[in-house]
Amino acid sequence: MKNIIFFLSLAFLLSSCVKESQEYKDLLAQNDSLQAVVSGKDKDLQNYLKTLNEIADNFQAISEAEKLINKDANGDHINGNAEQRINQNLQLMAKKLEENRNKLAQLQGLSNKLKSTNKKQELANLELQKTIERLTGEMDQKAGAIDSLTNVIKQKDERIIQLDGEVGRLNDDVAQKASIISQQEDELSSAWYVFGTKKELKNQKILTKDGMFKKSEFMRKDFNRDYFVKIDIRNTTKIPLYSKKATVLTTHPNKSYKIDEENGNKVLVIKNAKDFWSISKYLVVRTD
């Protein structure tokens, strides 16, 4: 029994001596350092996985934006809403691409940090380098896609500007031709009339000196055209004569008009404008 107590006491003393020794303290410090390294590696691994997920999400967003741009850019013409969406998606792609560049730089920094003489760790770092190179290649492809889409949109914009110019010129031509046609229609639809006493008409050289109206002489000689009233035959159906008497001197089909009376004064009523003005676009009425 005494021997047992002796050996236990000796073991306790030896244990106390070991804990107090420098070697023991060094081992404890080394263990703490290793745990810190392991903890740091775990944190690096978490950052690595997080960064990879963020890069993948950005690539997904870029791909979706690219699909939307191709959809909006399909066809020769891009309307205003589509153009706005295309610009927004191009900006999104550029933003996500820049984010991925920064995140790849973070991965490269992590790779440099993981460099070690440890074979397993070195193999892991080589795999990380391969991942970085693959992602860099994908990023270059997306950058090329952005450039390609930008060029396509630019070409379409230039084509649209060209088409707008052509449409503008065509519209100008159409407007000019429409103006000419309208002017011609106005001229074709224009007629002139005059009424007055024998004396008034002679003074304006509309009647001859002997008071006769001769169409051949009337159209040739220098009569006072300003004395006539210009009308549009398309919307003129009545001509008030403001007199008790009325005699039509120019030639017009008899069935195309009639002389009525309103409020005690004569009124020339045109029943068929096309026929009435078919022989002459001038109307002369003597009112005495």
Q: Of the residues 176, 195, 213, which one is the last residue of a structural domain?
A: 176
> Do 169 and 199 fall into the same domain?
no
Burial (Cβ within 10 Å: 0-12, 13-18, ≥19) of residue 191 = buried
Q: Which residues on adjacent β-strands are paired with residue 49?
A: none
> Do 89 and 31 fall into the same domain?
yes
Specify the DSSP element, H or E, that contains 220: helix 215-220
Q: Which residues on adjacent β-strands are paired with residue 239?
A: 268
> Do 99 and 50 fall into the same domain?
yes
Q: Which range is least confidently modeled, 22-31, 155-164, 165-174, 224-233?
A: 22-31
For residue 78, the enclosing domain spans 18-176
| 14's tokens | 């030896």
More confident residue, 15 or 121: 121
Q: What is the pLDDT of residue 31?
A: 45
Q: What is the pLDDT of residue 51?
A: 79
- The arithmetic mean of pLDDT across residues 38-57, rounded, is 70
Nearest-5° angle of CA 177, CA 181, CA 184? 140
**What strand order describes the sheet that includes 238-240?**
238-240, 265-270, 257-262
- The arithmetic mean of pLDDT across residues 100-104, rounded, is 83
Q: Which range is least confidently modeled, 26-40, 99-113, 146-160, 247-261?
A: 26-40
Q: Is 259 helix (H, G, I), strand (E, B) or coil?
A: strand
Q: What is the pLDDT of residue 19?
A: 42
More confident residue, 286 or 124: 286
> Do 207 and 79 fall into the same domain?
no
Query: For the chain, what is the domain count?
Result: 2
What global pTM score does this model have?
0.45
> Do 242 and 264 fall into the same domain?
yes
Q: What is the pLDDT of residue 255?
A: 94
CA–CA dist 131, 52 (Å, integer) = 9
Task: Give a yes or no: residue 11 inside a domain.
Answer: no
Task: Give a yes or no: residue 7 inside a domain.
Answer: no
CA–CA dist 103, 49 (Å, integer) = 12
